[in-house]
Amino acid sequence: MKIMKRRTFLKGGLAALALAGAGSTGLSLLGRTGYIGTAQAGGFSAPLPVPPLLDNLDKSGQSARFAMTVQPGTVEFFPGKPTETLGYNGNFLGPTIRVRNGRRFTINVDNTLDQVTTLHWHGMHLPARWDGGPRQPIPAGTRWTPDFTIKQQAATLWYHPHAMGLTGEQVYHGLAGLVYIEDEYSDRLEIPKTYGVDDIPLVIQDRRFLDNGQFAYTRNMHDVMNGVIGNYMLVNGVMQPVLEVPGGMVRLRLLNGSNSSIYRIGFADQRVFDVIASDGGFLEAPVPMNSIVLSAGERAEILVDFAAHGQDTSLIVNQMKGSTFEALRISVKGPGTITTMPKELRKLDRIPESEASGIREFIMETMSMGGGRMGMGMMGKRLTINGKKMDINRIDEQVKLGSTEIWEITNRSAMMMNMPHSMHLHDVQFQVLSRNGATPPPHEQGRKDTVLIMPGETVRIISRFLDYTGVYMYHCHLLEHEDDGMMGQFEVIS
């Protein structure tokens, strides 16, 4: 499959999911050699690994006490060519951290790398000093011990490093993991919740490699602008894995953990599934779809009915800029325990527009002609938010504690640079009010922390800024854009 045009991708739906066996044409754009060819490795033999649940060191269960080591490792994605990787408590990716709302949460994070890292809790509502963004570096060889109380509803969040200029590279090498928040509500819901059996995390990421087996992560201008788009697809760190599921309802927790790819995800037989949760928790009711678009950093929980459909299938992942991959083969074995779909999930605390004290405007610009002379200004003004690049010594926005605000975010793409962006806010879960003035689709009407903004599009979001003061980030979650400075800081002030 050739590079997908935007229109095909967004409107294509089912057609866009046509199955392609292997390979990418994305790299041919670079006109470079030195990358491993286009054939897929793995051959659907390895079982899908499920990240282990991180042990709670507090055996009483009264609090959540964890320990994690950031470490270098190697993985043989290609036999005989070990790839140098990074991982949490392992070679690649990290364990799943499961915590309950209301619990005190502490974790020792030991950085054994020879470079700085951070550990950011993506999607978490938390005190700024424990956010793990660029303001909380963990220098090489040191320990960081965040300590706060979980204060949000059940959701699938994730964690990843966020050091200035290093996020993309460190995530690419393997630093990412999931955080599950559970509460009385998720306990009660009649949905699959047996970890790794009928409640399965899927961390979806693409990668590309050099001939010598190392990750081909570069920061040349092409890669910064377009993002590093891979021609191999990994699910939970493995190429072409297979998964056995029970013949009932199966809950898949999808994370687009790629650096800069936007994925349309569905199944080979185009079966309908139900979206039950977005970034920040459950939707009001299941939303039937047969494919879902997730930009880098977004999550969705879906329920797939393997009793109704019975037959085996594959998870298909279509890159907006790149190829279509058979990412995971799924086979059904034995009966499932949950066989019905709940009619209702969770009442959404809808934030009324009238509650907002004001509107803040954000322009995400791929390339700006603004300012001085053409040409000169251009190169200095690529990948900006409101014309600025990230400066850790500058506070870009101040928001009053306890206030509600509408943020109006426009992707203004100039010239030939039709670049989608993925806007992410730290600390809060927002709601999407509109896309170009229209009501967002039902699966985008829940709690979100990351939202795709297509070229020319204006997305309005609304959020409350509660509980904590301090400095947080907002940025494009295409990590190459973020590292290049497409990021700003908002301070919540009392």
Could you list the residues that contact ligand C2O (CB under 6 A)? 120, 122, 133, 160, 162, 297, 424, 426, 473, 475, 477
CA distance 431 to 444: 8
Contact between 321 and Cu ion (CB under 5 A)? no
- CB nearer to ligand C2O: give 51 or 133: 133
Q: Which does 321 bind (CB under 5 to 8 A by kind): ligand C2O, Cu ion, none?
A: none
Least Cβ distance, residue 162 to ligand C2O (angstroms): 5
Q: Which does 481 bind (CB under 5 to 8 A by kind): ligand C2O, Cu ion, none?
A: Cu ion
Residue with tokens 């054939």: 39
- CB nearer to ligand C2O: give 172 or 209: 172
- CB nearer to Cu ion: give 4 or 478: 478
For residue 164, the one-letter residue type is: M
- CB nearer to Cu ion: give 132 or 201: 132
Least Cβ distance, residue 1 to ligand C2O (angstroms): 29
**Cα-based angle 430, 363, 165 (whole degrees, multiple of 5):** 80
Q: Which does 107 bind (CB under 5 to 8 A by kind): ligand C2O, Cu ion, none?
A: none
Contact between 421 and Cu ion (CB under 5 A)? yes
Q: Which two tokens stand for residue 206?
A: 């693409």
- The count of residues in the chain is 494
- CB nearer to ligand C2O: give 133 or 177: 133
Q: Which two tokens stand for residue 43?
A: 């051959």
Q: Binder to Cu ion among 296, 476, 487, 492 (CB under 5 A)? A: 476
Q: Which does 382 bind (CB under 5 to 8 A by kind): Cu ion, ligand C2O, none?
A: none
CA distance 248 to 256: 25
Q: Which does 421 bind (CB under 5 to 8 A by kind): Cu ion, ligand C2O, none?
A: Cu ion
The DSSP result for 313-335, as a single string, is EEEEEEETTS-EEEEEEEEEEEE
Q: Binder to Cu ion among 245, 478, 479, 487 (CB under 5 A)? A: 478
Least Cβ distance, residue 161 to ligand C2O (angstroms): 10
Q: Which two tokens stand for residue 231?
A: 């021609």
Least Cβ distance, residue 480 to Cu ion (angstroms): 8
Which phi and psi angles does 221 have, rounded to 5°?
-60, -40
- CB nearer to ligand C2O: give 36 or 478: 478
Least Cβ distance, residue 456 to Cu ion (angstroms): 14
Q: Which does 478 bind (CB under 5 to 8 A by kind): Cu ion, ligand C2O, none?
A: Cu ion
CA within 13 Å, CB half, 136: 24
Task: Return the range that interacts with Cu ion (CB under 5 A); candidates 89-97, 274-282, 329-337, 424-432.
Answer: 424-432
The DSSP result for 92-145, as a single string, is SB-PBEEEETT-EEEEEEEE-SSS-B--EEET----GGGS-STTS-B-TT-EE-
Least Cβ distance, residue 134 to ligand C2O (angstroms): 9
Residue with tokens 């993309």: 168
Least Cβ distance, residue 206 to ligand C2O (angstroms): 17
Least Cβ distance, residue 139 to Cu ion (angstroms): 21
Assess contact for 406 and 360: CB atoms under 8 A.
yes
- Whose CB is nearest to ligand C2O? 122
- CB nearer to ligand C2O: give 150 or 423: 423
Rg (CA), the chain: 21
Assess contact for 145 and 106: CB atoms under 8 A.
yes
Contact between 451 and Cu ion (CB under 5 A)? no
Least Cβ distance, residue 269 to ligand C2O (angstroms): 32
Q: Which two tokens stand for residue 392?
A: 């850790």
* Close Cβ partners of 374 (under 8 Å, ≥ 6 residues apart): none
**Cα-based angle 121, 122, 125 (whole degrees, multiple of 5):** 75
Determine how many CB atoms are found less than 10 A away from the CB of residue 351.
18
- CB nearer to ligand C2O: give 27 or 119: 119
Assess contact for 241 and 331: CB atoms under 8 A.
no
- CB nearer to ligand C2O: give 13 or 127: 127
Task: Return the range that interacts with Cu ion (CB under 5 A); candidates 173-181, 228-236, 263-271, 479-487.
Answer: 479-487
Q: Binder to Cu ion among 481, 488, 490, 492 (CB under 5 A)? A: 481
150 SS3 class: coil
Torsion of CA 351, 354, 355, 360, to 10 degrees: 90
**What residues from 75 to 134 belong to the interface with Cu ion (CB under 5 A)?**
122
Helices (H) then strands (E): counts for the chain = 6, 31
Sign of the CA dihedral 342, 347, 352, 353? negative
CA distance 452 to 49: 29
- CB nearer to ligand C2O: give 136 or 434: 136
Q: Which does 297 bind (CB under 5 to 8 A by kind): Cu ion, ligand C2O, none?
A: ligand C2O
Interface with Cu ion (CB under 5 A): 122, 421, 426, 476, 478, 481
